[in-house]
Amino acid sequence: MTLQNLSITVLDSSFNPPHRAHLFLATLCQTPAPGRTTANLLLFSLTNVEKVPSPSDPSLAQRMHLITLLLPHLPSNTAVGLLNDPTFAGKSKTIHAYLSTNFPDRPKPELRFVIGADTLTRFFADRYYTKTPGGMDAAMRTFFEDEGCTLISARRGGDEEKRNEEELMKNEWARNMVEKGKVIIAGTGLEDRVGISSTKVRNAVKDNNWETVDALVVPEIAKYIRESGLYSTLG
C-alpha cells in the first residue's frame, strides 16, 4: 500500500490477551477524510508506564501469536508491530523512523492512536514526563505538532467517566487538542464492547469459566489459551 495520504490507526495495547473490544477499538473512527486511505496497526510495547509484567504472563512469542489471531477478524490492511518505548511520543517517533527508512520517498502518514479513557487521562498527566527533556510541553509539541498525531479515546460511560472527562478538559493541552480535533472522544459508552477487559478474560480462564471466555474473545484465541494452558494460574 502506498503511504501517499495515508492515515494509520494504531491500537496500542498490552493484548493480555486480545479480546473482542480490541476489534471494536482497532477500527474506531475509520471513515477516511477525502483523498486519504486508512490502514491499521496493532502495536505491543515491551515497556509500559503503568503495568509491571507478571510471572504468569505469556511469553513474548505467545503474546505476539495471540495478537496475530485477531488478524482474520480485521481489515486486510492490518499489521502487527512490536517496539520498546513506554511513551506515545516515543512510539510515534519509532513508527515514523521505520516508515521513513523503508519508504524514503513517501510522505509522512498520519498516525491516529486509539487509547482507553484511563490512558487518555495519564497521557495529559505531568508526572509521566518528569524524565522527558523539556517536560510535558515538549512531549506534547513533538506528538501533536511535529509528528502530527491524533488521539482517539472510546467512552466507557457512567458518571465517573463523565466527571473524569470534565476534569480532563481543565488541562490546557487536552482542551486545546480537543478543540483542534487532535483528540477525539468517541462512542456513547453503551456499545457491546463496554465492560470487556483482559482482566475479565484471565479471571474467567482461572475459574475454568469457558462460556465467559468464549463470549469475550474470538474462537481462535479461546482455543489457543485452552491448548497452551495460559492464565490457568495467575501470579
Domains of the chain: residue spans and CATH: 6-192 (3.40.50.620)
Query: Per the structure block, which three cell numbers stand in for 108?
Result: 509522512
> Sign of dihedral through CA atoms 195, 201, 203, 209?
positive
Helix, strand, coil shares of the chain, percent, nearest 5, are: 45, 15, 40
Report whether pLDDT(67) > 80. yes
Interval 194-227: pLDDT, tens: 578 899 999 999 999 999 999 999 999 999 999 9
Query: What CA–CA distances, in Å, run from 69 to 78, 163, 225?
Result: 12, 36, 11
> Sign of dihedral through CA atoms 235, 91, 95, 133?
negative
Quick one: what percent of the chain has pLDDT higher than 90?
A: 51
Radius of gyration of the chain (CA): 18
Cα distance between the two ends of the chain: 42
Query: Per the structure block, which three cell numbers stand in for 28?
Result: 474506531
Higher pLDDT, residue 186 or 84: 84
N residues, the chain: 235
Residue in the structure block whose three cell numbers are 512510539: 91
Could you tell me the pLDDT band of residue 29, with boundaries at 50, 70 and 90?
low
Q: What is the pLDDT of residue 129?
A: 87
DSSP state of 106: S
